Amino acid sequence: MSASSSPINSSALQDELKRIEENTRTLLRVSTSRANVGQTPKQVIWTFNKAKLYRYIPVVPAEQRHKVPLFLVFALMNKPYILDLRPGNSFIEYMVKQGYDVYLLDWGAPGIEDKDLKFDDYVLNYLPRAIRKIKAVSGCDEFTMLGWCIGAILATIYAALRPDDGLKNLILLTAPLDFTDKKAGGFVRWVNDEAFDPDKIVSAFGNVPGEMIDYGAKALKPVENYIGSYLTLWDNLDNPRIVESWHAMNTWVTDLIPMAGATYLQLIKELYRENRLIQGTMVIRGERVDLSRIHANLLNVIALADHISPTCQSESIMTKVSSEDQYLLKVKGGHIGMMAGSGALKFTWPHIDSWLADRSE
Amino acid sequence: MCIVFYVCLEGKEPPSTMSNESEPTNPLDPFETMTTLWEANLKNWKSMRDTSLDSWSKTMIDTVNSDEYSRTTGQWLDTYLTLSQPFRRIIDLMMTQVLTGLNIPMRSDVTSLAERLTNIETRLDDQDAKLDDILSAIKAFSIPKPTTSKTTTNNSAKVKGAR
């Protein structure tokens, strides 16, 4: 080894070894710890069974705030903090800064004692109570309801059953509502196969385990979810922005909760198989769910690369409702990425805000 | 460990001292040789990896979206649930006997208690709603009706006088 290259290479080797050590530490940290998620300041204003209703602390002076409160309803089988993933990548933080009075319903994780909970209970027992509290706290008789995924099903059913309860604006995100096409997407195919018996699953487990639902969601894109995601991390271990984003998303993806057995049965049988909601034959506690009764302003946001709720499942509601003010927004991205991905801040959130701002006064 | 090393190197600019073309390279230095080799083959390898992953992904998506996959997983799940049912029953029965023998509450007892608590919570929430209605009615009743400015002044005077 020459005298001139020896110290240089020794320093480079040390640098590389240090980098390897740092990357290994990063890998261990993100794969074995939880990211600090849901950091936007909030307070619990109502609880009911496992459900909690949060109000986010406004940062805009009262006189500059939008009058109509924004009520967020997420899916039943994932944690709702995907809407408040981390500072700078939080829909809730963004909307609070835009002057909305934001409320989030966290359904909580159902215990075995909740296995008989149905859509009927969520729509007519939980939602009206939470909405009453929102009205009492905000002092406004009107509200905007934003439902995402299964939350959009719940919001749609509520809007149809209680159209005159003060619902001014209805926002649906990637809403799986129309299951006419039995070949659209993996879920529809799987659950419509005659070998698939949801009764046996519920009979065995009571509530459907989060792991089973997670497997279903991941199996739709197995290579991306089981390999691609980790390769992305691997390739970017020295990029703190990507690592922290991956960490937060991985925390959410692995934070699984079960789904109440009776709700699961209703979802598979009445919606995925019999397509009752869009056909107008779904009955909730004796009341027929008639979508034509929905007259709130409607914003329907569809993700063009959604493999969980293909676009055909979300589009047709536009022709079923009576809303005079309705808008269909198609955005690039997948089921979750549309609202929590890097492009959400630039496209999806500003679009929702610009649509909602005029309708929240 | 080799893989970690490889990943750490990829996409990186070599240290400025190393990238200086005028600097004489030492072919006997294993670290430098390895770095050069890795960097030379890195782009090709990564490109190949991504291409093969893409095609693999498409194949897998087609597979999971096929009727055959639906039938196979449905049948597998059905078989698993059918075969595991007797074992679950036996375990439930044994647990019931053991817990009863030890005088410890069973899952059904806890479940029943939780259901009762939820019912109580429902009633409390109903009461809360009624209380809110009553309070808002009282509030509405106690707020003086808008009157002329003269009357308002008189009321203010009365309040001041009362104090």
Give chain A's domain count. Answer: 1
pLDDT on residue A22: 87
With a cut of 50, say whether residue B160 has pLDDT above it.
Answer: no
Residue pair A74/A290 in contact by the 8 Å Cβ criterion: no
pLDDT on residue B22: 45
List chain A residues with pLDDT less than 50: 1-6
CB-nearest partner of A23 from B4, B17, B110: B4
Residue A158 lies in a domain: yes
Residue A80 lies in a domain: yes
Tell me the HSE value of B121 on the side-chain side, using a 13 A CA sphere.
15
CB-nearest partner of A12 from B15, B24, B57: B15
Q: What is the share, in percent, of chain A residues with pLDDT greater than 90?
A: 72
pLDDT digit string (tens) for A13-48? 788 788 888 888 888 898 889 999 999 999 999 999
Residue A6 lies in a domain: no
CB-nearest partner of B26 from A2, A136, A204: A2
To the nearest whole angstrom, how far is the Cα of B8 from the nearest Cα of chain A? 6
pLDDT digit string (tens) for B121-155? 999 999 998 998 888 888 888 877 665 554 444 44
With a cut of 80, say whether residue B157 has pLDDT above it.
Answer: no
The domain containing residue A316 runs over which residues?
Answer: 35-357
ipTM: 0.78
CB contact under 8 A, A5 and B125: no
Pick the residue with more confidence: A294 or B7? A294
**Which residues on chain B are in Cβ contact (under 8 Å) with A138?**
none
Residues of A annotated as part of the active site: 149, 306, 335
Tokens of A150: 């299964």
**Which residues on chain A are in Cβ contact (under 8 Å) with B135?**
none
Interface of A with B in 180-219 (CB under 8 A): 185-186, 189-190, 192-197, 200-201, 203-204, 219
The mean predicted confidence, pLDDT, of chain B is 74
**Which residues on chain A are in Cβ contact (under 8 Å) with B65?**
185-186, 189
With a cut of 90, say whether residue B163 has pLDDT above it.
Answer: no
Residue A352 lies in a domain: yes
CB contact under 8 A, B57 and A221: yes
Tell me the C-alpha to C-alpha distance, in Å, between residue A10 and each of A6, A15, A53, B26, B31: 6, 9, 58, 12, 9
Residue A15 lies in a domain: no
C-alpha torsion sign, points A248, A253, A257, A260: positive
Residue pair A304/A331 in contact by the 8 Å Cβ criterion: yes
- B29: confidence class by pLDDT, cuts 50, 70, 90: low
Instruction: Considering only CA atoms, give the Rg of chain A.
Output: 22
Tokens of A5: 């290259």
CB contact under 8 A, A228 and B73: no
pLDDT digit string (tens) for A99-127? 999 999 999 999 999 999 999 999 999 99
pTM of the model: 0.83
CATH number where A54 lies: 3.40.50.1820
- In a 3-state reduction of DSSP, which class is residue A169? strand
CB contact under 8 A, B74 and A49: no
With a cut of 80, say whether residue B41 has pLDDT above it.
Answer: no
DSSP assignment of chain B:
-HHHHHHHHTTPPPPHHHH-TTSPP-TT-HHHHHHHHHHHHHHHHHHHHHHHHHHHHHHHHHHHTSHHHHHHHHHHHHHHHHHHHHHHHHHHHHHHHHHHHTT---HHHHHHHHHHHHHHHHHHHHHHHHHHHHHHHHHHHHSPPP--HHHHHHHHHHHHHH-
DSSP A220: T
**Which residues on chain B are in Cβ contact (under 8 Å) with A237?**
7-8
CB-nearest partner of A20 from B4, B61, B115: B4
Residue A23 lies in a domain: no
